[in-house]
Every structure is written in C-alpha cells, then in structure tokens.
Amino acid sequence: MTSTSAYVKVNGLEMYYELHGADSGHRPLVLLHGGVLTIGLSFGAVLPALAAARRVVAPELQGHGHTADIEREMSVPGLASDVVGLLDGLGIDRADFLGFSLGGLTALEVAVRHPERVGRLVLAATHYRQDGYYEEVRDPEYASPRLPSPADFQEMADAYAAVAPDPGHFADFMAKCGTAAHAPLPWTADDLRGLAAPTLLVLGDTDFLRVEHAAEMRDLIPDARLAVLPATTHMALMRRTELLLPMLEEFLG
C-alpha cells in the first residue's frame, strides 16, 4: 500500500491531504473526517482495509489537523467547495464518499450540489436537519453519555497539538467548529429525494442523532440503506471495524 501526503491551494486554504492505496480500477474513495478530528482519529481503524482495494483520498478540512485555519467562517457549503476544489486539482471527476459527522454533512452537500461528482455515498452519523440531533447533544451543559468523554476531548487536543500549524489556536478553533455545528443546515426533504447516488446511512444506537431521523432520511433518499450499530456511541462508530468493514466493502464493491 502506497501512502503520500501533500498540500493543495484551494479557496484560500493550504489544504492537507493524503493518498493511500493504488489505482485499482475502482472509483477513488474520499474520506471526510469528523469535526475537531483528524484523518487518523476518524479513520485510523478502517483506512488500511479500505485502501487495500482502491485509491483513498483523505483531506483535512479547514482548520483541522495539518490544514491551517483562515479568516473565513466554517460552513458546510464552504467545506464542500474546498473538497470539490481538491478533486479538481487531483483530476478526479467522480469518486465515492465516506463522510463521518461534519465530514458526512460535507459529503452530503457535495452530493446535493454536485451529483455528477459522487458515485456511492456513505453518510456516517449524519443528519439533514438540526432537530435530527438529540436535544441533550445540542446542550453542552448536559452530561450526556452520547457526548465525547474527557478522554476523547484530550485525544482531540493532543492530535491537534501534534500537527496543527498553530497549536495555540485550539480554543478558537473549537469555538468555530461549535458555531458551524449549530448553524442551520442547507437542505430540504426534496434535496434528499433528489439524491442520485446510492447511499448507505450508518449510525450508532447511542449516537448524536436519533435513529428515527436516520430512518426518515432512509425513506427520503432513493436507493438508501440504513445500518444501526449496537452498543455504539458517536465516537466509537468508525472504530467498530468488525461490523463496519463488511458493510462498507459490500456496499462500495
């Protein structure tokens, strides 16, 4: 398995990305990580297996990981535009997408606004309206077992400090991510009904979003499938390899 990393200039960003695996004839797979996370924190458990069969493109979004923040609000449409710009720079016309949490919102925006760029779509822990989240998750004062633990937050802080261009920016970066997470989402039910890409929705049974909301998305999106992983929190979702990898490999082909 080959692995390289580089930066690309897009929309004022110096966006960091990694390439894993070889060109095997399959469509490339784009991995989009969660908010406040890095490629490794989101996908370290699944990336080797996914890259064994296809080329994987994994960027770090605005302000995340190796990608420095810029004087621009953090928004789902902006992040999606950055990802499309990266694909343009790499000469990739069409790819499959696996997005987790904030990365799932970004992947959904790409699929809605640029359907010709998306082959298959995996949305992990992804909602399309803000009321898709449990109220307790949207209230930071609520000590919900669904929320990241202190150890999870420490892991995020450590990963940021290890690779961020400005490690001292973490508190401001966290606040910016929080604002983006609570912003109105840019989709309607008709947008989901119009999705062209076969879609797999994945969440944990103790996730941020309600299973009922994910089921609503499954009913709205043509040719959609839904998987709910048992005994799984939001932060554990992408680490449940024994359940997740067989589904991903079957769905992606």
What is the chain's pLDDT, residue by residue, as a tens digit (253 residues)? Answer: 458 999 999 999 999 999 999 888 889 999 999 999 999 999 999 999 999 989 999 999 999 999 999 999 999 999 999 999 999 999 999 999 999 999 999 999 999 999 999 999 999 999 999 999 998 887 766 678 888 888 999 999 999 999 999 999 999 999 999 898 889 999 999 999 999 999 999 999 999 999 999 999 999 999 899 999 999 999 999 999 999 999 999 999 8
Cα 189 from chain centre: 21
Give the pLDDT of residue 144: 82
Q: Looking at the chain, how many residues does it have? A: 253
- Secondary structure of 171-234 as H, E, C letters: HHHHHHHHHHHHCCCCCCHHHHHCCCCCEEEEEEEECCECHHHHHHHHHHCCCEEEEEEEEEEC
- Radius of gyration from C-alpha coordinates of the chain: 17
Give the pLDDT of residue 1: 46
Concatenate the DSSP letters of all residues of 125-180 into one string. S--SSGGGB-HHHH-TTS--TTSPPHHHHHHHHHHHHHH-S-GGGHHHHHHHHHHH
- Characterize the bridge pairing of strands 95-100 and 224-233: unpaired
Cα 92 from chain centre: 19
Give the pLDDT of residue 142: 67
The enclosing H or E element of 13 equals strand 13-20
Cα separation, 124 vs 139, whole angstroms:
22
* Whole-prediction pTM: 0.96
Give the pLDDT of residue 166: 94
Give the pLDDT of residue 194: 98
- Of 86, 123, 81, the C-alpha closest to 102 is 123
Give the pLDDT of residue 22: 86
- Of 132, 147, 163, the C-alpha closest to 40 is 163
Judge whether 170 and 212 are in contact, CB under 8 Å. no
Cα separation, 71 vs 252, whole angstroms:
37
Give the pLDDT of residue 141: 67
Residues 6+ away with beta carbon under 8 Å from 95? 27, 28, 29, 30, 57, 87, 117, 118, 119
Give the pLDDT of residue 230: 97
Give the pLDDT of residue 83: 98
